[in-house]
Structure 1
Amino acid sequence: MFTIWTYDGKMVYENIIDAIEEFDPKYCIGVGGYGSVYKAELPTGQVIAVKKLHPLEDEGITNLDSFENEIRALTKIRHCNIVRLYGFCSHSRHSFLAYEFLDGGSLGKKLSNKEEATEFGWIKRINIVKGAAEGLSYMHHDCSPPIVHRDISCKNILLDIEHNAHISDFGTAKVLKPDSSNWSHHLHVD
């Protein structure tokens, strides 16, 4: 039921569902195109982010492509500037992903708040750009096969309490396969 985490999956699943009271809206901290994100404090005191995927309106099933893309990408990579996936649940009742919780929120929220954006100096902004670039560079050059995010925006850059950047939301990511039509060893300029 709950995979990847180093604990008993059934117990973790129940702890998550209990912590957010069956996805009660009062625990919702964000809504995106593919799902809603909830803040869950587990009995151990650990705080995690839980992304529950939206069901498709026409068929009543979860958007499995996005779900599988995110799992495929995040199980292949470990980098300090990429959000960490703890586990996932694929069940007819609930399909969700469990991530590390980052206290700083998204860069988009930070910059859209005039007061916070004013206090958010250039040194912090440069460090965030550098962190995001390091995460992307890792995905493009140090992963085998390389991973392309395909949805980098300020809403998908999460910040920890020290304003370090963490790339998130890998629902549209693509794992490049050598010898396929999306792979090129050389850049040709005409």
Structure 2
Amino acid sequence: MYGEIMKATNVFDDVYCVGKGGQGSVYKAKLPSGSTVAVKKFHQTLDGDEASQNKEFLNEIRALTQIRLRNIVRFLGFCSSSRHSFLVYEYLEEGSLAAILSNEHEAEKLDWSTRVRLVKGVVNALCYMHHDCSPPIVHRDITSSNILLHCDCEPYVSDFGTAKFLNPDSSNWTSLAGTYGYVAPG
């Protein structure tokens, strides 16, 4: 699969890049089998903060291997080598909610019933992570950029790099995490 992804993305050429974030870039890869996947390649650090990046990489793998729910992006696998660290997900055709909302013509297509369905799907995912997972998981970076849409506007929560696993038998304190501008006050 590693070789197929390298070939399908032309070794992560920008032509195949469909999104960029703080932790890495996401590429669209059409595999020889005919399936299309999203590949989140983590940025290589130049400042020596590899421990933090590795923690986010492993955190996302841990969260996504424990969660089985329709409204959470489907995790297919990962690669961790000296050259590249990346995660492989199901590719969702419509992209992020942020991209749709930033395009006036596309945003107009989201009628009220569709918007209510989007909210219910995200709430369903959060409720599942908080109450039905053991240990409970707090996402800590719910933004419109981390809500991906399938062709029928079904929402999927993605990007679990800053997720926190709660120990139910103790108080849980955490440092600030998430996307600036979307962090809850206080």
* TM-score, structure 1 as length reference: 0.87
CA distance in 2, matches of 1:23, 1:154: 25
Residue of 57, 63, 78 corresponding to 1:88: 78
Residue of 5, 11, 15 corresponding to 1:26: 15
- Partner SS state of residue 39, structure 1: strand
Aligned ranges 1:172-187 → 2 under 5 Å: 172-182=162-172
User: 1:150 corresponds to which residue?
Assistant: 140
User: 2:114 corresponds to which residue?
Assistant: 124
CA distance in 1, matches of 2:108, 2:101: 8
Aligned ranges 1:63-82 → 2 under 5 Å: 63-82=53-72
Judge conservation of contact 2:136–2:168 (CA < 8 Å) in 1: no
Identical-residue share of aligned pairs (%): 58
**Is 2:111 the partner of 1:115?**
no
Flag structure 1 segments of 5+ consecutive residues without an equivalent. Answer: 1-11, 184-190
Cα displacement (A) at 1:71: 0.6
CA distance in 2, matches of 1:181, 1:60: 28
Residue of 31, 36, 46 corresponding to 1:57: 46
CA distance in 2, matches of 1:78, 1:60: 31
User: 1:8 corresponds to which residue?
Assistant: none
Flag structure 2 segments of 5+ consecutive residues without an equivalent. Answer: 174-186
Whichever residue aligns with residue 15 of structure 2, its letter is K
User: 2:90 corresponds to which residue?
Assistant: 100
Cα RMSD after superposing both structures: 1.3
- Partner SS state of residue 151, structure 2: coil
Aligned residue pairs, count: 172
Deviation by residue 1:49-78 (Cα, 9 ceiling, x = unmatched)? 000001122128481111011011001001
Which one has a bigger Cα radius of gyration?
1
Whichever residue aligns with residue 54 of structure 2, its letter is L
Whichever residue aligns with residue 44 of structure 1, its letter is S
Whichever residue aligns with residue 56 of structure 1, its letter is T
- Partner SS state of residue 40, structure 1: strand
Deviation by residue 1:107-135 (Cα, 9 ceiling, x = unmatched)? 01101101111121111111000001001
Q: Mean Cα displacement is larger for which, 62-71 or 104-113?
A: 62-71
User: CA, structure 1 residues 60+147, in 2 after alignment: closer, same or farther (shift >3 Å)?
Assistant: closer
Residue of 129, 154, 166 corresponding to 1:164: 154
- Partner SS state of residue 134, structure 2: coil
User: 1:39 corresponds to which residue?
Assistant: 28
User: 2:184 corresponds to which residue?
Assistant: none
Cα displacement (A) at 1:178: 2.4
Deviation by residue 1:80-125 (Cα, 9 ceiling, x = unmatched)? 0000110011111110000000001100110110111112111111
Whichever residue aligns with residue 26 of structure 2, its letter is V
- Partner SS state of residue 182, structure 1: coil
CA distance in 1, matches of 2:162, 2:19: 18
Judge conservation of contact 2:76–2:90 (CA < 8 Å) in 1: yes
